[in-house]
Each structure stands twice: as structure tokens, then as C-alpha cells.
Structure 1
């Protein structure tokens, strides 16, 4: 879709990693409890397990009618997480997450990208929220039935949105380790948009640090470094929203200054308590107006120009939602 769409998914390393690996109606479900309290407890334990457990396993992703497999290794050393991801099918890719950086290896293009901009605290192989208690009433959390995934007993949780502006989720949580063994993201028609499932998993007491060394010989690779940006909170911005989808609020608004070329951009984060949407505003370097939509599975992005500024909205919400947000933002001269 051209250079502008490429820009969309280079705004955040999280979305770059997403593109590396992965190019049912609820009417029949029988909820055990619908008040959400027990479901919340399961989900909070899962969030904690993903940060603290040591494990290694093979994961299959289904997205855009294609299946990709990866091997993930995760460890927690005295409160500091490390994660190693290696593709097992398709072009070889490798990602290493450390406390202070995330490094991606692309053997086909002989490129190594290291990002120091606030390494993602979420696991890179499963984009699940860390906090399930702060959602703003836009979802129902249902504890449903139990079953088996990869030979392990699992509790199924359904997260059902109250409108079509959000996706629904189903998560199968390992009864013993509390790790997510299977995950589905589905749209308003109940159709699965993307799916993740462990095909094998092994829990470890300890994992040697050598598992987090690169397996790729990158001595002749081109190296790209995204240095940490200078940030400061924005108190009085000229950017306003005429209206936001119900439940979404501005949770963060900062000015980012690149340490590489001193370029400035504003970064706003909108959240309904469960999912977040990022909005980037920067001077438009293109001579003509831009209006484009792009998608990677459940992540949608919309780009438009406003009064000489380039506005990019992206998040794991339906295309309708990112467009509503992009159309609602206005620049008011001060």
C-alpha cells in the first residue's frame, strides 16, 4: 500500500514484531458464572504467571488463513524478564526481549534492529492485558467450561464486548501454571480473526541465560538502532477530540523528541481499560494529503493528514474504531 502504510507499522516495535511472525458465536456457550469475579481472578493470575514463570514451548498462530509457528522461551531473573522468540516456519526471524531493549534479527535482509524505546512489558508472543480490573464496563467476563489444551487441563474465559467497536476474546488458562495455552480474538460476527495455541509447553525451575543469546550469525548484518526518545507530558495541547467511542479515555499524552534527528511527535494513548489505541501526530513530510487504512490481523491502523500534520491511529480494535478516532481529532490553534 506504499510508503505511507509502511510508516504505519514502524511507529512501534510491538507492531513490527507482530508483523514478523504472522503475515464462532458465543450463543452456544454455557457460562458457569457471569458476574465476572472468578473470571477476573483467573485472568489476574494468568497475567502474573506470564511475567514470573519460566517456560519454553512451541506456539502456532492462525492469522489471515495462514499458520505460522514459533518457539518461545521466557524466564524471570530476580524480577527482570527475558524472552526469546524464533520462527519455526516461513522466513527465519528472531526476537530477543531484555529489560532495556528489544532486538530483532532479519536474516533475509541481513538486518538487525535494536529498539531502546521503553521495551514492551507485555510478552511479545501473546498481547494480553496486564490488568483486567480497570475496564470501564464495556465487556462481560464469563467463566465458562473446562477442557484440555496440549494435554493440559484448562479453564476457558470469554470476554464479550458490549458493542461492535471492540473485539471479543477467548482464553484457555492452564489450571496448574495459569499460563495462557490458547487464545482467540473474534469480531462482532463471532468469526475468529486470529488464534494462538501452544502445541507443546515445558515449565522450568530455571532456564540458562544462554537460551537468550542470538542463534543467528549477524556479523555482516546492517545494524539499525532506535535510541530512547526524550519524553515529557503534554499539559496544554492544541489537539482535541470532538467525540470518542464510549468507554475510551486519554490515559497518556506525551511529546517525544527523537535523539537521532530531533524531530518531534505527540503520542496519545486511548484506553477503555482493557485495550489501548496509540495516536501519533507529527509534521507531514509528504507533499500531498494522505488517507489510508492498513491491517495486520486484529491490529488496524488509519493514517490521515490534518492541516499539515500526519495523524496515525493504531490498535487492536476494529477498523471502524480507529477511523472514528482519526476522524474525531481536531487541531485548534491556540
Structure 2
């Protein structure tokens, strides 16, 4: 299950397609960045949350760069990858090579993503519509990001040899995490990110350990590499667009700030009767939550639980069918980089409509 919450989106600023990074121990207390000097640009200090985020997004689109970044988390694991990013007008192109874990190469051209798995000789082609979610929401008059987050500049630092401004994005309620972001001072490119829990502790960190900005990355060369699937079995996971209402579901109690963004059916395999899993995606513009709903199977589904791995929370719950509904019970898996109470609110609000 792959998501595009804010931490994953910032990785997408670097790496268009989000690798499933699970990460290493982050110190519980991170030293505060040095205070901004008295001569700091007053306009920069007064930027709102949308201004900061748009500046970071634009920097990611207009710069070619090569770098190595490392993701670590309080769960006790670490992962790293090498990225090449090129741009040609509005066209974006990236190559990501995993340096830890399973060997894989991921290429993204705008919303098309191809994952090459050399070990199994499989190339998986997908569309990632959610990659455009973040900037589109910022530009929309309906954006609620400033309603639920506040931004303030907290100092300066150096990351991978670059001077960076440090910005804190603080949630205004307990339904979302906060973020501390380091952006390269001249361009605004994000060079480091921390996801903070409701008490300000670091749950997850992603940072460049080495970076070349305005590097000589050739768009055409990356495109050629992306298109070379010779020797690989090409797979195109089948996703069917739908709506929650069409599938018989409603969120009777909306979670403040989170809006429905997309809904798909994902065919499942196994069993005598073909079935499918519905994925309903919500976002507040930074954080995202995915609700995966499938028919309950006593053989496959275990106990209800709530798990945490770094910033990612997972909740599973059995949902009872309404009285008179003969379709049987359902199994919910809710995943998101949000506090556990947010997933609980989604689970409590999700309801099966009478068929």
C-alpha cells in the first residue's frame, strides 16, 4: 500500500515516485536550528504556509539535480537512494536507484511511473495521479491548508553543504502531524524534512547526504532508459476508477480538513469468487489517508490492531454489514501518516449503505 502524504510528497519533490522507505532510529531530541539573524529578510519571515510550500514546489520543478538521500525513523530502520532529476519546460523526469534493501530502479515522467525489479525481471507500469495533488491544492481557492497548519521560520542550518532556511509547519489540532523543513536558501529546494508527532518528537527524517544542484542531467537520456523494458516482463496493475457511493460506502462523519481525492477498485486474486479491494484516498493537502475495504475473510484477516512504524500508522478493523444486508462483513485497513486518533475517526465514520 503506497501513499502520498506530505513526507512522501516531499520525497516526490526529489523522487517523483515514492519508494517505500522505512527507517532508522532518530534521536528523540533534535537540537534547535540557530536563531535567525536580526538582518533576516522580513518578507521571508512573514511568508504564510502556502507561500513556503509553493516556493518549495516550484524549486523542485525548475532545477536539475543529482543526490543521495537517506530516510530514517524512530521504528529503527534506515534506507537510502540515489536520484537524478531533470526538467524540460513543464515536463518532469526522474530516476531513483535504491541503495538499500531490494534492488530496484524507479523512473517517473510526469504521472507515469515504471518500477524495474532486476531480481524478478519485472517492470511495473503505473499512473500516479496523486503526484499533482499537492500543488493543485495550494493553487486552489478551496485549499484548507492554512486553516489547519501554521508556518514560521525557526532559523538557519547547513545540509549537504548548502545553506538552508528552517521552517516549522505546526498543526492547529491533534488530527495531523507537524513538520520541520530545511529548504535551500537560494532556490527553495527541500534538502531535509522531519515529521513530528503531537508532542514535537521526531517520527521520521529524510535528508540529502550529498547533493548537486543544477547538475548536467539529460532529460532525453533518462527517457530512453525508462523506455527500455527489453528482457523484462511488463505488468500493468489494473485499477478501476469508481466512487465510494457506487461501491456502497459513505463517510457519515467527515474528518475535519480531509477531503476525498480519489477512489479505485483493486482486483484481488485467490478464492473461488473474484473480488476486489476498494481504495478511498483522503487528503488535507499535506497528510493523506487511504481506506482499503474488502470482503471479510476469516482465513486471511486476523485480529483488529493499530500499528505504528515511524510516521506511518495502520489500523485494521472488522466492519459489520447492516441488518438485512446479505453481502457479509467487511475488513478495513486504514493507513496514513497521521496520528492514530485520525485513523480511528475515519474508521468510526465509515458506514456501509443498505443495498
TM over 0.5: yes
Q: Which residue of 1 aligns with 2:92?
A: 81
TM-score (norm 1): 0.77
Q: Which residue of 2 aligns with 1:168?
A: 178
Do the aligned partners of 1:117 and 1:229 also contact (CA within 8 Å) in 2?
no
List per-residue Cα deviations over 1:226-270 (Å, max 9, x = no partner): 33523144556642335344x234323535365999744443232
Unpaired stretches in structure 2, ≥5 consecutive residues: 10-16, 322-328
* Equivalences for residues 95-174 of structure 1 within 5 A: 95-99=106-110, 101-107=112-118, 109-118=119-128, 120-121=130-131, 129-130=134-135, 131-132=137-138, 134-135=144-145, 137-174=147-184
2: CA distance between counterparts of 1:18 and 1:134? 28
TM-score (norm 2): 0.73
Q: How many residues align?
A: 316
SS class of match (1:248): coil
Q: Which residue of 2 aligns with 1:321?
A: 342
Deviation at 1:119, TM superposition (A): 5.2
SS class of match (1:330): strand
Do the aligned partners of 1:38 and 1:143 also contact (CA within 8 Å) in 2?
no
Do the aligned partners of 1:299 and 1:316 also contact (CA within 8 Å) in 2?
yes
Deviation at 1:161, TM superposition (A): 1.4
Match 1:302 to one of 289, 312, 315: 315
Do the aligned partners of 1:305 and 1:311 also contact (CA within 8 Å) in 2?
yes
Deviation at 1:157, TM superposition (A): 0.9
Unpaired stretches in structure 1, ≥5 consecutive residues: 1-8, 123-127
Do the aligned partners of 1:250 and 1:268 also contact (CA within 8 Å) in 2?
no
Whether 1:19 and 2:31 are equivalent positions in the alignment is: no
Q: Which residue of 1 aligns with 2:351?
A: 330
Do the aligned partners of 2:83 and 2:96 also contact (CA within 8 Å) in 1?
yes
Do the aligned partners of 2:268 and 2:277 also contact (CA within 8 Å) in 1?
no
Q: Which residue of 2 aligns with 1:274?
A: 286
Deviation at 1:178, TM superposition (A): 1.4
SS class of match (1:110): coil
1: CA distance between counterparts of 2:91 and 2:268? 26
Do the aligned partners of 1:155 and 1:173 also contact (CA within 8 Å) in 2?
yes
Q: 1:263 to 1:35 in 2, by over 3 A?
A: farther
| Backbone CA RMSD of aligned residues | 3.8
Q: 1:167 to 1:239 in 2, by over 3 A?
A: same
